[in-house]
Structure 1
Amino acid sequence: MAAIRPIGILTPMPEELVLLEAALQRPRSEERAGGRFIAGRLDGQDVVLALSGIGKVSAAQVSSLLLDRFAARALVVSGVAGGLDIRLGIGDIVVADRLAQQDYGALTRRGMVNYRAGSIPFGERRHDPYYDLPPELAARLRAAVRGLHLPPIPAKATGGRERRPKIRFGTILSGDQFVNAAPARLALRRRFPGALAVEMEGAAAAQIAERHGAPCIVVRALSDLAGATSHVDFMAFLPAAAAAAATTVRRLLPVL
């Protein structure tokens, strides 16, 4: 009987990785291309954990290694993000059912025109810029998180009373910039109506996964709201947000 291929899980930052590594059973570590890959069992699932580093190139490199060297059957990106939707707050969870590289395209007189990453960024757009989760997989993920109770978000993060995090499915944007200004956040919402969050790795991992015929699941907890105080909020709420993302990822693993 063929061996079950593992799930590859990558996190951009050490604070995000350590939460999953601490729960790993029978860990085995391997150095590859300057990075550490940790194989083991997580909640009964064979997984390989890796620290990708920040940005799209870093995520693409580690994604390729997970899929090629470790034969991962699926990729999961776990970590934090900036919120784009004003109905969401710090600590809320976004699971991507659609991803786009918001900084790939053409700079024109009309502004940025987004193209699908890897395509020629001018002329007719033959494909939209999105990577969509298969509907049947999205349905399984939605069912898996139903009833999941995450630790309450502290009042310091909500600006009022503590509350339970919301879990939303929707569009996450990726780009090689940290969004640290409200006008930039609003510009992203205009270009990508309905987008819920922005980060720096997920859509690049999805691009690599698509080439390998593997699904890519991106789970992000909001550490900031992509505004003028994002750099302060990010550092203040990173540990709690990363923990919420890791808990959600562990809930999803059995249905991948």
Structure 2
Amino acid sequence: MTAFFAAEPEEAQALKEALGATASLEAPFPLYQGEGVLVAETGVGKVAAAMAVAHVLTRFAPKESFFLGVAGALDPALKALDLLLAERAVQWDVDLTPFGRAPGETALGVRFFPSDPGLLARAEAAARALGFPYRLGVVATGDRFLADPEEAGRIRALHGADAVEMEGAAALMVAYRFRHPMALLRVVTDGAGEGAALDFQAFLGEAARRLGLLARALAYTEKG
């Protein structure tokens, strides 16, 4: 079984429709099942994402997982609806530097949590087949919607991040602790600066549609 996670209702609905996940399961968040797949609507933020991933991995033990959603671009070369396949993600709002840690480094001694390379390779193949513009990169995760260009620039410089969002690094951290293969995949909706909230709303629908098509391609290649 493959688990698919998304934070926003629009994202999760697109995944449900694309994957035929119509059976509602009992869980502390919206959770749906289809043939060989689970779709979890985690809710927004690091705590919500971590809780949902831990629950699914503990209760259902899926073979592999994908966390899909939208992100704001930190790299100006990324355009709206570009797909960013996260090689790794960092929590930009974790700060243990008074204890000698690097910015974003957790108490585990890990700063960047990786996506599974095999799942990323499958995502690259699916993106190529769908004709979606994509690139590999680094995601920065924090519990705040970023709409400040100066702070966006600081986060990019500090962590080498290409995009910013609110769940990915927390989800990958749980997968890391569970030794579970997961990949983080994001579609760009905005530039994480002035006007980010409006751009987010404008592009969310089409971004969610693309995520659904990507999820269906990933589920198909897993079964094939």
TM-score by length of 1: 0.79
Q: Which amino acid aligns with 2:157?
A: R
Q: Give the 3 Å change call, closer, same or farther, for CA 36–223 of structure 1 in structure 2.
A: same
More strand by share: 1
Question: Equivalent residue for 1:208?
Answer: 174
CA RMSD, 1 decimal: 2.1
Q: Give the 3 Å change call, closer, same or farther, for CA 137–79 of structure 1 in structure 2.
A: closer
Question: Equivalent residue for 1:197?
Answer: 163
TM-score by length of 2: 0.90
More helix by share: 2
SS of alignment partner, residue 226 of structure 1: coil
Aligned residues: 221
**Structure 1 position 141 matched with structure 2 position 130:** no
Aligned with 2:8 (options 1, 4, 13): 13
Measure, in 2, the Cα distance between the counterparts of 1:191 and 1:76: 26
- 1:5-84 aligned within 5 A: 6-25=1-20, 27-33=22-28, 35-41=29-35, 46-84=36-74
Question: Equivalent residue for 1:223?
Answer: 189
Question: Equivalent residue for 2:199?
Answer: 233
Larger radius of gyration: 1
1:39/1:48 contact within 8 Å kept: yes
**Structure 1 position 90 matched with structure 2 position 80:** yes
1:56/1:175 contact within 8 Å kept: yes
1:145/1:252 contact within 8 Å kept: no
Any stretches of 5+ residues in structure 1 without a counterpart?
1-5, 120-126, 151-165
Question: Equivalent residue for 1:253?
Answer: 219
Question: Equivalent residue for 1:162?
Answer: none
* Structure 1 position 26, deviation (Å): 6.5
* Structure 1 position 25, deviation (Å): 3.4
Any stretches of 5+ residues in structure 2 without a counterpart?
none
- Partner deviation per Cα, 1:41-81 (whole Å, 9 max, x = no partner): 2xxxx111111000000000100111011212222111111
Q: Matched residues, percent identical?
A: 33
Q: Give the 3 Å change call, closer, same or farther, for CA 243–21 of structure 1 in structure 2.
A: same
* Structure 1 position 90, deviation (Å): 1.0
